[in-house]
Structure 1
Amino acid sequence: MPIMSDPTPYEDHHPEPATVDRWLADLGFLVRAAPTVVEPLLERASGASARLAAAVYRASAHLHRDATEGVRRQLLAMDAARFGDRVLSARISSIPAAGEEEAQWRVDWATGSLVDGRFRHVLTGHTGRVCTVATAVVDGRTLAVTGSEDGSLRLWDLTTGRQDGEPLTLVDWVAEVMAVATLELDGRPLAVTGDVDGMVRIWDLTTREQVCEPLAGHDGWVCAIAVAVVDGRTLAVTTGEDGTVRRWDLTTRRPVGAPLTGHVAGVWAVATVVLDGRTLALTGGDDELVRVWDLASGEQFGEPLDRHFDRVCAVATVVMDGRTLAVTGGEDDRLRFWDLATREEAGDLVHGHVGGVSCLATAVVDGRTLAVIGDPDGTVRVWDLATRTPVGEPLVLHTDAVLAVTTVVTDGRTLALTSDLDGITRVWDLTADQPLGAPIAGHTDWVRSVTTAELDGRTVAVTTGDDGTARVWDVATGKPLDHPVLGPGPGTRAVTTTVLDGRPVAVTGSGDGTVRVWDVATGRQLGDPLDGAELGEFGVATALVDGRALAVSGGYDGAVRVWDLATREPVGQPLTGHQARVCAGATLVVDGRTLAATGSHDRTVRLWDLAKHEQVGPPLVFPLPVRALSVASGGRLVVGFGTEVAVLSRR
């Protein structure tokens, strides 16, 4: 991959694949060109090297948009290492960045639990969990429509991955958006939303305005929405926490008939289908049943489908081999298949969704009918519904429960959109090749702590995480030394050790905002707690500077505090710069200076000169929040960010 000093300008909006591959293979172009120039090229990558470069760029594309060249260079180097290509990572680190110093740190290796060649976009902007997602075509463009507990409905261009216009909100609309469905009515693209306050609202996606007054009827949350055409009328079918299913005429904005009752508790899922000339709605709820309704008559169609053993959270329909099937999932960890004509289960059920099925959608890709299923553990799995076998590896970029999923075909690609508890929607290409690169697998949940040790002449890192495991890594090679073992469990507190007055002591950070010093031999606390933070202190480290034993702590307020352990007094004013809570700390010696390194939820590691009480150089930026930090031999930084682990060393 050449490094061009003067990348070819991006002038042609439809360049030939060979030109695209040449640009994407130019690492200097990836670092220096504006994301608005690079991102349109990613879909047109064809060669293996260019496709890998595109995958590396996409991994943190949402961060590149607002980053300087130096930060972009560092993120690209980190993500190349996450994809398993250390040579590419090193070459990216060596690229000059305009107006910035040479990179001071290189990435020796990193795990890649959260990288995948099928990933396309991350849609960020909501400030609360994303509860629902749908797609619509507006002015010839395919958009994603997401609803959130932050009280907004947002539109996203699926070609660029960027938000399209301002959010759809009302001044007095503060209720969580639980459900959304889209349709075209009288030539207008519309969205129908359901709120936690029981209201159903209709929005014009072209004008971005509410069409009419809210439709009131549900007592409690509106949990799910589907649309259907019945006897020439376009209806919205809504389900509620109150156990009812309601029909609304979207032309007259009035209810159709009486509420459909039968579920004895909340109804969490709905889908519509046409079978033998009748339009049906399928609903699933807390009563562990799937009920089928004739939307014209308002009557229940046959007996309920009764084989689940817990709440039914997801319902979809699909036509396979001439049969109309229902696919249902719930908190009993099972995915079931039903022939709607015979009311019988259609083949084997699928197990393996530990924690349950929270949402599902179907799609046809390369002639195969697939189910895309979101789990409460943050995993998205794809199943071939004909063979009942998984397709590829699970999609694992989410770090919290997946609440909504939908599929859409655009530009010849079948995309899956998955939304989660963290307020993020991710876009996947279900037609993509197998994931690129050979990333090292890591933890499956947040990394909470890191420490290092010498073992048989090798420096190893030990990491613990919320997945309940402790993992041991060879710091030089990045290879795990052993299989995961049960560790200390989730939420490991910050702790470090030092020597004070000739005694080994432990220094701990606490959720009550204090730093405490303990005699390792007796287990007794030494003196009063060091109390300086209003909230918890979770990052802590120690160092010896000018003959003084110092402790460095950080917590929820983002400040870094330095303490004299002998006098129990703070040293100087708190060090500021982090924009979110500080979760990790370590100390190291660089060029004869004793530095503190602190890691934060703002996705940075900052270095501080403890003698001068000031920050050293720009922060190191990571793709995910930094929650764990340690220093290995040779001054190498071992960093836990998200579920990943990386080792960085001075260039």
Structure 2
Amino acid sequence: MSEHVSASAEAGRVQAGGSYEKGGAGLTDPGWLVNTDPDRVLVALDGASEREETLAAAVYRESAHLHRDSGAGARRQVLALDAARYGDRGLAARLAAVDVKGEADAAWSVEWATGSQVEPRLRNALTVHDEVIEAVATGAVEGRPVAVTGSADGKVRIWDLTTCKQLGEPLTGHSDGVEAVATAVVDGRSVAITGGLDGTVRVWDLATGEQVGDPLIGHDASMFAVATGVVEGRPVAVAGSGDGMMWVWDLATGQQVGEPLIGHRHEVHRIVNTVIEGRPHIVTGSMDGTARVWDLTTRKQVGEPLDDLSDTTVAVGIVSVDGRDLILTGGASPMVRVWDLASRRQVDRLAIEHVPRVCAMATTVVHGRPHAITVDFTGTIRVWDLSSDRQVGTPAVGHTDNVYAMATAVLDGRSVVVTGGGDKTVRIWDLDTGRQVGDPLTGHTGPVWAVATTVLDDRPVAVTSSGQHRIEMRVWDLTVGREIGEPIINRRDPKPAVPLSISWPESEFADLPNWVVDMRAVAAVVIDGRPHIVTGGRDAKVRVWDLTTREQVCEALTGHTYGVEAVATAVVDGRPVAVTGSRDATVRIWDLTVCKQLGEPLTGHSDGVEAVATAVVDGRSVAVTGGRDGTVRVWDLTTREQVSEALTGHTHPVRAVATAVVDGRAVAVTGSGLTSFTDLGFVSWTGIDAEPVGTVRVWDLGTMQQIRSDAVTPLGVVAVDMTSDGRLAVAFGHEVAVLARR
């Protein structure tokens, strides 16, 4: 091993003015990208001009907020994976081969990866807040562009957008989360106005970081929206609250202007200012499903409300197209509605596929053409050219929402990966080429939570489960890419037998009608020579289905006290069994011939069991489980005892487990990562300073030792599998990737 030192590193130096010096190979030299100080590289990226340079810049920026503060070894892995996500497998291979001083060679290379979530327009990501960032606004301080952010931790932060560094310490004063931020100029100084769940609106001097005056208080309702404007030459702030009322304050005096504006029936989530016929107006969006226009001078509502025809209107924008002022509204429905500001009539709509809800919106002008930027609750950002009503950019190839499950199979002699995700689709991928096989398999009415593969009538099939508006399983012929027969519908219970999660007491569910319970886990098994499916759901029940007749073969198996998150099957003493893991932190073994639990629950995990797989080690059947406590445990299914100490090292909840036989030895593959807001609780109670990345580990089940170094992903790992030749299939975020041993 040798430290990367080359002429290209010197050629990649940054000039005093911040531009990248031409004539060197720095930006296209993988070693320079991996080993050079990230701050230096990020400045140099602005000088990229040639195609290879701009691609390298996009790859580096994609996950810079994660690898910027990590070591060069981890950066090498993340950059290689991101290069594959951008479709450059050659660059991915070169990055994986870079020497890093003091580090072993990279254990994994990236054969291919999908690029559903990559965004070449990304410039940087700012990460310091301890909790969810709820609001962002931009402004200028001493001539430099800044961003002001507010978050659920109650803090306000100021960022220099030129250096992407935080300016000073966080601004504190709110006693609860900050939900809204706006900026203005008052008496020649730049200020930020913030609204919080504590019911206050506060004004901050952006140059000094000090609060200006006392908090502005309407009453004790939470403040969800803030905007600024000028009325009769005086700067004002307008704030909307949780009870639908809005207040106007004079920012120069700190005094409330007139009585509150009343009209909305529920909380106001968005306020946008505009000028109509020379007079200042605001447009407001509310959880009551309407948008309203207000004249700030007369303090009156103008015209009738714009009814968004959805449960909520939380996103509002204003733009001028061909000389006509338009209002854009978004909410619970999968579309953005376009209204003529003068006539108050809907004139168009932007249909957005697979989006459960538009949660934020902004408008701007690009090259003289009006555009809208929309954000949905999956985190997807879309840009729309409003002159043509078309989305800007290339549609993503692959899942358009999180991947939740995967399984491997052999199809016509080639290995494939079958994945299911939150976009309600099932997709088949060629393991060698990374190409999607055929069109997505559609039909599910909710997110696809689980996938299993098996053989039915001598044909490879996939069984997938979902649950949202109804609970269903579907069987797919993988050879022809079509569904076999009708879906298997699990009849909904009048109410769940147990609560959905540990934090919700059962009494809260007493009055919930038409309760739907997700099928979270699926596994295939053969019973008496016939293919069967075992499912686990969030109702804490385990069910067994005959795959040929599509009928449930016995009463639901009960015992778990919280939702069943994982199922695997095995053969113990010649009898088929199911092994289930639950949010109740237990593992249970079920005899599938008689549909009864075997022995007492297996305990050891200190929090929910998220993943289960089975294997045969030295002639004995074992189960491998992964938990929210970050541990991996191995259990002897005959003695029902834990084998050795827990396997530790993961610093996040272990979401995925798979087993395989590679080079004649049984191995387990485990994947971890923070994948949802609820996972933030894991960080708080463990005290671990966990980064939002995923980790994959491979364990020798004979020695109970880790083999090969970690594989690192830029997002939390939700599913893994391994082939007999040692290739890893990994799902993280919307993406699927295949890694090979180096």
TM-score scaled by structure 2?
A: 0.76
Structure-2 separation of matches of 1:294 and 1:122: 37
C-alpha change, 1:337 and 1:449, in structure 2 (3 Å) is closer
Matched letter for residue 432 of structure 2: A
Q: Secondary structure at 2:623's aligned position in 1?
A: strand
C-alpha change, 1:268 and 1:11, in structure 2 (3 Å) is closer
Q: CA deviation at 1:610?
A: 3.0
Matched letter for residue 218 of structure 2: G
Moved beyond 6 Å, runs of 4+: none
Q: CA deviation at 1:631?
A: 1.1
RMSD across aligned positions (CA): 2.5
Is the Cα–Cα contact under 8 Å of residues 227 and 272 in structure 2 kept in the other structure? yes
Whether 1:215 aligns to 2:192 is no
Q: CA deviation at 1:200?
A: 0.7
In structure 2, the partner of 1:148 is 151
In structure 2, the partner of 1:429 is none
In structure 1, the partner of 2:128 is 125
Which of the residues 31, 35, 44 maps onto 1:32? 35
Is the Cα–Cα contact under 8 Å of residues 135 and 150 in structure 2 kept in the other structure? yes
Matched letter for residue 38 of structure 1: V
Q: Secondary structure at 2:466's aligned position in 1?
A: coil
C-alpha change, 1:64 and 1:289, in structure 2 (3 Å) is closer
Q: Secondary structure at 1:119's aligned position in 2?
A: coil
C-alpha change, 1:599 and 1:344, in structure 2 (3 Å) is closer
C-alpha change, 1:7 and 1:519, in structure 2 (3 Å) is farther
355-364 or 79-88: bigger deviation: 355-364
Which of the residues 613, 616, 623 maps onto 2:704? 613
Matches within 5 A, 1:152-171: 152-170=155-173
In structure 2, the partner of 1:51 is 54
Q: CA deviation at 1:264?
A: 3.0
In structure 2, the partner of 1:567 is 639
Is the Cα–Cα contact under 8 Å of residues 378 and 401 in structure 2 kept in the other structure? no
Whether 1:312 aligns to 2:313 is yes
Whether 1:488 aligns to 2:560 is no
C-alpha change, 1:387 and 1:111, in structure 2 (3 Å) is closer
Q: CA deviation at 1:374?
A: 1.9
Is the Cα–Cα contact under 8 Å of residues 406 and 420 in structure 2 kept in the other structure? yes
Structure-1 separation of matches of 2:568 and 2:215: 57
Matches within 5 A, 1:132-531: 132-170=135-173, 173-306=174-307, 308=309, 310-340=311-341, 342-345=342-345, 347-352=347-352, 354-393=355-394, 441-485=397-441, 486=444, 487-489=464-466, 491-492=520-521, 493-531=565-603
Q: CA deviation at 1:364?
A: 0.7
Whether 1:645 aligns to 2:645 is no
Which of the residues 110, 114, 131 maps onto 2:113? 110
In structure 2, the partner of 1:399 is none
Q: CA deviation at 1:529?
A: 2.4
Q: CA deviation at 1:449?
A: 2.5
Matched letter for residue 616 of structure 1: I
Is the Cα–Cα contact under 8 Å of residues 469 and 488 in structure 1 kept in the other structure? no
Whether 1:539 aligns to 2:611 is yes
Unaligned 5+ runs, structure 2: 445-463, 468-519, 522-564, 674-692
Structure-2 separation of matches of 1:332 and 1:543: 45
Structure-2 separation of matches of 1:147 and 1:463: 37
Is the Cα–Cα contact under 8 Å of residues 280 and 292 in structure 1 kept in the other structure? yes
- 1:348-369, Cα deviation, whole Å (9 max, x unpaired): 3333364343221111111101
Q: CA deviation at 1:572?
A: 2.0
534-543 or 52-61: bigger deviation: 534-543
Structure-2 separation of matches of 1:24 and 1:637: 30
C-alpha change, 1:109 and 1:547, in structure 2 (3 Å) is same
Q: Secondary structure at 2:140's aligned position in 1?
A: strand
Matched letter for residue 437 of structure 2: L
C-alpha change, 1:209 and 1:643, in structure 2 (3 Å) is same
Q: CA deviation at 1:648?
A: 1.2
Structure-1 separation of matches of 2:258 and 2:102: 68
Structure-2 separation of matches of 1:34 and 1:537: 40
C-alpha change, 1:502 and 1:162, in structure 2 (3 Å) is farther
Structure-1 separation of matches of 2:319 and 2:405: 45
C-alpha change, 1:390 and 1:192, in structure 2 (3 Å) is same
C-alpha change, 1:344 and 1:294, in structure 2 (3 Å) is closer
Q: Which has the higher contact order (CA 8 A, sep 6+)?
A: 1
C-alpha change, 1:7 and 1:496, in structure 2 (3 Å) is farther
Q: CA deviation at 1:591?
A: 5.8
Unaligned 5+ runs, structure 1: 397-440
In structure 1, the partner of 2:722 is 631
Q: Secondary structure at 2:54's aligned position in 1?
A: helix
Q: CA deviation at 1:117?
A: 1.4
TM-score scaled by structure 1?
A: 0.86
Is the Cα–Cα contact under 8 Å of residues 586 and 601 in structure 2 kept in the other structure? yes
Q: CA deviation at 1:20?
A: 7.6
Q: CA deviation at 1:640?
A: 1.2
Q: CA deviation at 1:159?
A: 3.2
C-alpha change, 1:239 and 1:71, in structure 2 (3 Å) is same
Structure-1 separation of matches of 2:650 and 2:433: 31
Structure-2 separation of matches of 1:389 and 1:107: 34
Matched letter for residue 586 of structure 2: T
Is the Cα–Cα contact under 8 Å of residues 17 and 46 in structure 1 kept in the other structure? no
Structure-2 separation of matches of 1:360 and 1:264: 22
Matched letter for residue 214 of structure 1: P
Matched letter for residue 272 of structure 2: A
Structure-2 separation of matches of 1:34 and 1:97: 13
Is the Cα–Cα contact under 8 Å of residues 727 and 741 in structure 2 kept in the other structure? yes
Count of matched residue pairs: 601
Q: Secondary structure at 2:356's aligned position in 1?
A: coil
C-alpha change, 1:541 and 1:345, in structure 2 (3 Å) is same
Q: CA deviation at 1:18?
A: 6.3
C-alpha change, 1:181 and 1:324, in structure 2 (3 Å) is same
Structure-2 separation of matches of 1:379 and 1:96: 35
Structure-2 separation of matches of 1:336 and 1:184: 32
Is the Cα–Cα contact under 8 Å of residues 314 and 330 in structure 1 kept in the other structure? yes
C-alpha change, 1:264 and 1:565, in structure 2 (3 Å) is closer
Is the Cα–Cα contact under 8 Å of residues 227 and 239 in structure 2 kept in the other structure? yes
Is the Cα–Cα contact under 8 Å of residues 305 and 343 in structure 1 kept in the other structure? no
Q: Secondary structure at 2:348's aligned position in 1?
A: coil
Is the Cα–Cα contact under 8 Å of residues 107 and 708 in structure 2 kept in the other structure? no
Matched letter for residue 380 of structure 1: I
Structure-2 separation of matches of 1:321 and 1:513: 60
Structure-2 separation of matches of 1:226 and 1:12: 40
In structure 2, the partner of 1:84 is 87
Matched letter for residue 573 of structure 2: D
Q: CA deviation at 1:612?
A: 3.2
Which of the residues 39, 58, 62 maps onto 2:65? 62
C-alpha change, 1:22 and 1:567, in structure 2 (3 Å) is same
Q: CA deviation at 1:387?
A: 2.7
C-alpha change, 1:303 and 1:292, in structure 2 (3 Å) is same
C-alpha change, 1:288 and 1:565, in structure 2 (3 Å) is closer
Q: CA deviation at 1:95?
A: 1.5
In structure 2, the partner of 1:578 is 650
In structure 2, the partner of 1:438 is none
Q: % of aligned pairs identical?
A: 50
Whether 1:42 aligns to 2:52 is no
